[in-house]
Amino acid sequence: MDIAKIREFLMKGRELKGERMTNLEKRKPHEDAASVYHLTILFLILFFGAHPSLLAQGGGGQQGGPLDGLYLLQDRTTARVSSWDTTGGNHDCVVIAPGETKTLFDMSGSGVIRRFYLTSMASDRMRYRKLVLRMYWDGEKDPSVEVPLGDFFGSGLGTLRYFHSAVVDINKGFRGWDFDGMVNYFPMPYRKSARITLENDGKVRGFTLWYHIDYEQYPSLPDNAGSLHAQWRRVIRTPVPEGIPKNTTGGANAVKNLTGENNYLILDAQGEGAYVGLFLIVDNVAGDWYGEGDDMIFVDGAKWPPTYPGTGHEEIFNAGCCPDEEFWGLYTGFYLIENLNGNFGGKNQMYRFYVNDPVRFKKSIRVTIEHGHANNFENDYTSTAFWYQKEPHQAFPPMPSAQERLPGWPPGVGEALEKEARLGRELTLMLGRGKVHLSESDGKLVQVLGAQSSKAFRELRYQDYMRDVLALESLMNRYRQPNP
């Protein structure tokens, strides 16, 4: 960086500041433009370290540009494991039967998984909670990643929303279908081996998966490389300590929380590592603003005060006060805000990726958040925490059953979801066997109802969704074969 030029620009700025208004009025337009140019260049130099010659060269020169890593050749190989049809056909997917566990990736040697993409199809919208994703590094017996499939990609409630971040993307598929794509770019290093499995313990029928796992192979990994870990937790009703006013935004302000013991627990890990990401779902059953609770992170055995003391729920996700509109960005997002019955009620989904500010720990970490101030709200909390650490890791809590993992829904919605899944399987079998042929008008109606129900469900218009499921059932009743 040319210090002399910086001084020159600073001096010009001081001279401009000292001029009288009358002199400024006499300046010619080209002089004003020149001043703006100088100030712009100064801004770029001070904040980005850019030399003026680089601006003229469009990012050339020795300092290079942000994509220059693409042309630097390195001592590694790259490859992909996928669901491709090894016969050369077009059946580029795998089917995971009810109760089956399928190995998606099994590799020896040192490497890093760079991209994990998938899309899936089944008539059951809750399949993303009914299958469990596990990742095992370096021959370990217990997984370092154990998360319901959708929650690893921020879609534990199904693909209700699309968002784009630096780490995870959810992208649209065919319009009106529940057939979306999702990708996770967290680096997943391994020293000796890596194995990824997917278990259909929720007994989803007809579950079909298309996936890519892109990876690099290395001669070895650096000694300080940690392994990716991800853990899922849920409390269906967060308990409120006795004597504290329940489910009120300001009613518990006089209560002091000086321990954090009753906070919702996101992560409790032992060892050396770095906490790097969070998906959080709050189903605000109680209604009213639920976010007066602070995050509290305790590092390396800290008791009180927290190593990271918080000031409120929304601050974790870089939001303004009490957000009631959805947003998403590179590192943070409130990408679902239902506002059921107004006043912040219903389902809320958010994420935070600590890419620029990982929370580092040498011995242990405990990540918590109050559910309301002093834990005075009874709500449904679900979290997926991401972190890197050296092995071995602390044992994970047992994974709840598929039924226990299902989200809570307003009356009738859960039953409609199960009915829709059953009707979808039945329709597929009826048409596949060739014993039933829909009329042209009914075929179009099936497509319309499918698109309408998907749209209604994504928009959380529950009554419309249930109406469409009933309409599909009524249509199918006309084609059902009577029992002999």
DSSP code for 246: P
* pLDDT the model gives residue 118: 98
pLDDT of 249 higher than 80? yes
Please indicate, yes or no, if residue 36 is contained in any of the structural domains: yes
**194 part of a folded domain:** yes
**Which of 142-146, 212-216, 234-238, 476-480 has the least mean pLDDT?**
476-480
pLDDT (0 to 100) of residue 483: 55
Lowest-pLDDT choice from 37-46, 71-80, 364-373, 450-459: 37-46
104 and 200, same domain (yes or no): yes
The residue among 12, 30, 57 that closes a domain is 57
CATH number of domain containing 323: 2.60.120.1390
Please, how many CA atoms are within 13 Å of residue 195, restricted to the half-sphere of its CB? 11
The reply to whether 249 and 291 lie within a common domain is: yes
The answer to whether residues 221 and 235 belong to one domain is no
Strand 332-337 versus strand 264-270 pairing type: unpaired
Do residues 347 and 268 both lie within one domain?
A: yes
Q: If pLDDT is split at 50, 70 and 90, which confidence band does 74 have?
A: confident
138 & 30 share domain: no
Residue 394 within any structural domain of the chain: no
Helix (H, G, I), strand (E, B) or coil at 255: coil
- Whether the Cβ atoms of residue 130 and residue 124 lie closer than 8 Å to each other: yes
User: Positive or negative, the Cα torsion across 280, 286, 287, 293?
Assistant: negative
Residue 340 and residue 359 share a domain = yes
Contact between 295 and 275 (Cβ < 8 Å): no
* 349 against 74, higher pLDDT: 349
Q: What is the dihedral of CA 370, 235, 150, 104, to 10 degrees?
A: 110
Whole domain around residue 166: which residue ranges? 74-226
Higher pLDDT: 115 or 25? It is: 115
> Looking at 55-59, 192-196, 323-327, 364-368, which range is the least confident one?
55-59
Which has more confidence, 149 or 435?
A: 149
Among 1-15, 327-341, 407-421, which stretch is predicted with the lowest mean pLDDT?
1-15
Going across the sheet that includes 264-270, the strands are 264-270, 364-369, 295-299, 308-309
Q: Which residue has the higher pLDDT, 19 or 101?
A: 101
Asked whether residue 227 carries a pLDDT value surpassing 80, the answer given is yes
Number of folded domains that form the chain: 4
- Residue 374: helix, strand or coil by DSSP? helix
Same domain, 49 and 162: no
Distances (CA, A) of 143 to 114, 148, 189, 230, 370: 19, 13, 14, 9, 28
**How confident is the model over 348-376, as a mean pLDDT?**
98
User: Cα(417)–Cα(469) distance, rounded to whole angstroms?
Assistant: 8
**Separation of CA 399 from chain center:** 19
Considering the domain architecture, whether residues 278 and 370 belong to the same structural domain is answered as yes
Residue 428 located in a structural domain = yes
Q: Tell me if 68 is assigned to some domain.
A: no
Residues 236 and 374 in one domain: yes
Together in a domain, 141 and 87 = yes
Please indicate, yes or no, if residue 12 is contained in any of the structural domains: yes
Higher pLDDT among residues 472 and 6, named by residue: 472
What is the pTM for the complete model shown? 0.86
Within this chain, do residues 41 and 180 fall inside the same structural domain, yes or no? no
Comparing 5 with 468, the larger pLDDT belongs to 468
Domain boundary among 199, 226, 253: 226
Tokens representing 329?
A: 């960005």
Task: Determine how β-strand 332-337 pairs with β-strand 346-353.
Answer: antiparallel
Residue finishing a domain among 174, 197, 226: 226
Q: 335 lies in a domain?
A: yes
What is the tens place of the pLDDT at every residue in 116-129? 999 999 999 999 99
pLDDT digits (tens, 9 = 90+) for 381-414: 999 999 999 999 999 999 999 999 999 999 999 9
- Residue 336 domain flag: yes
Between 179 and 22, the more confident residue is 179
Tell me, yes or no, whether 344 and 367 share the same domain.
yes
